[in-house]
Amino acid sequence: MTEKVEFPLANCELRSFVGEDARLYLSLEVVEIGSPVGDELVVRVEGAPMNPSDLGSMLGGVSADAFRLTDNGGLVADIPEADFGRFSERVGQSIGVGLEGMGTVVAAGELAQHLVGNVVAMVGGGMYTQYRKINAGDCLALPNGTSPEDGAGAFVNPMTSLSLVETMRRDGHTALVHTAAASNLGQMLVKICKSDGVGLVNVVRSEAQVTLLKGLGAKYVCNSSSPTFDDELVAAIGETGATIAFDAVGGGDLASRILAAMERANTGKTPYSRYGSNVYKQVYFYGGLDTSPIVLRKNYGMAWGAGGWLLFPFLEKIGNEATAALKARVEREIYTTFASEFGHSATIREILCPEKIRVAAARSTGSKFLIKPNL
């Protein structure tokens, strides 16, 4: 199974580059990898998911429709003038893409020789590459024989979904609301909450997604395109007692409507005050599927908070031991709770295709790509 590699190793990787010409380029570059030392591993990448955050760093928020082929097989898009300002720190820089991946260890430094031949999941960026040099500490052992489909998404979505529940507990809440809940991550959250007995109110945007989540055993699924959405949300929040929400949509007034529903579900339980109930309500934004501004209508009293939520700062805050406990659960439930579903796969050469980028960027249920660099 383990190939023999020689160093320096010529390695082909996908890069995203912003030029002073106000264009964003996606292209393949050949970079040499030197021999691993210490606890470094060199992993042949067999699968790397295209998560929403990867689309974000790859496309930089430029519309997928703007990409066209270049003469050398890459893609290019003009950055709209109004947006170019926010790229100031990226101009002239080429960045690797792909936060996580999995593969087989083909070489290792003197401290990690025992890992050669093992299958590992990795996190750390730049995974849309044939070979990735990485510290052993940034890897997670997978059973040998784990397929790219099963192992590629072992970090970001599993650790995020577990961390949302962990955040809920540490902030003193007992049930939660989740938006864009039909996503891969949302499906994992349904399974975690079912298994842990945690109340979960899923917010989706179509009846098909309601059916999908109910099929996984979700009890409360509210369709935001229903005319009775707000009332259904109040009822579900009332039954579960949810006072925290995790919003992957992150734009428009959805978060405001959730806070208002939480307030309505708790109105009358405490004496009237024009400052609203004293039940504390929290929304964390962890994604930005909707790039429009967040609109907060303030019809939910004063006991509320909102803020950004990111996985890595959270893991840093809870520390190594708590993080290891979450990782251990991912390892145990990799084929069940944390099974990923991919609608498509592509090599790093094949993904450089305007039509494929558009499918991936649609981020609709079933449009998720698995990158298989070496296939």
Asked if residue 326 binds a copy of itself (CB under 8 A), the reply is no
Asked if residue 303 binds a copy of itself (CB under 8 A), the reply is yes
Tokens of 327: 């990782």
Would you say 60 and 24 are in contact if contact means Cβ atoms under 8 Å apart? yes
Q: Is the dihedral of CA 225, 57, 374, 119 positive or negative?
A: negative
Reported residue count of the chain is 375
Helix axis angle for 156-170 and 311-332, nearest 10°, is 110
Can you list the alpha helix ranges (DSSP code H) found in 52-155? 52-59, 81-84, 148-151
Q: How far is the CB of 168 from a copy of itself (least distance, A)?
A: 16
Asked if residue 17 binds a copy of itself (CB under 8 A), the reply is no
Contact region for a copy of itself (CB under 8 A) — 155-163, 195-203, 308-316, 324-332? 308-316
- Within residues 271-290, the interface with a copy of itself by CB under 8 A covers 272, 274-275, 278, 285, 288
Would you say 251 and 289 are in contact if contact means Cβ atoms under 8 Å apart? yes
Q: Which residue from 204, 226, 228 is spatially nearest to 216, judged by alpha carbons?
A: 204
Asked if residue 57 binds a copy of itself (CB under 8 A), the reply is yes
Q: How far is the CB of 152 from a copy of itself (least distance, A)?
A: 21
Asked if residue 92 binds a copy of itself (CB under 8 A), the reply is no
Q: How far is the CB of 135 from a copy of itself (least distance, A)?
A: 18
Closer CB to a copy of itself, 195 or 270, in the complex = 270
Asked if residue 297 binds a copy of itself (CB under 8 A), the reply is yes
Asked if residue 86 binds a copy of itself (CB under 8 A), the reply is yes
| Interface mask toward a copy of itself for 225-264; x: CB under 8 A | -------------------------xx-x--x--------
Asked if residue 302 binds a copy of itself (CB under 8 A), the reply is yes
Q: How far is the CB of 30 from a copy of itself (least distance, A)?
A: 24
Closer CB to a copy of itself, 145 or 271, in the complex = 271
Asked if residue 310 binds a copy of itself (CB under 8 A), the reply is yes
d(CA 1, CA 272) in angstroms, rounded, equals 69
Would you say 146 and 101 are in contact if contact means Cβ atoms under 8 Å apart? no
Q: List C-alpha distances in Å: 14 to 52, 125, 373.
A: 17, 11, 9
Residues ≥6 apart with Cβ < 8 Å to 268: none
d(CA 105, CA 118) in angstroms, rounded, equals 6
Q: How far is the CB of 260 from a copy of itself (least distance, A)?
A: 11
Report how many residues bind a copy of itself under the rule CB under 8 A.
Answer: 38
Closer CB to a copy of itself, 117 or 293, in the complex = 293
Residue of 246, 301, 356, 368 that binds a copy of itself (CB under 8 A): 301
Tokens of 111: 């401290």
Closer CB to a copy of itself, 218 or 260, in the complex = 260
Nearest-10 Cα torsion for 126, 129, 134, 137 = 70
- Strands, DSSP E only, in 136-258? 139-142, 175-179, 199-204, 220-223, 244-247
Closer CB to a copy of itself, 29 or 253, in the complex = 253
Strands 369-371 and 40-49 come out as antiparallel
Can you give the binding site for a copy of itself, defined by CB under 8 A? 56-57, 60, 86, 89-90, 93, 250-251, 253, 256, 267-268, 272, 274-275, 278, 285, 288, 291, 293-299, 301-310, 313
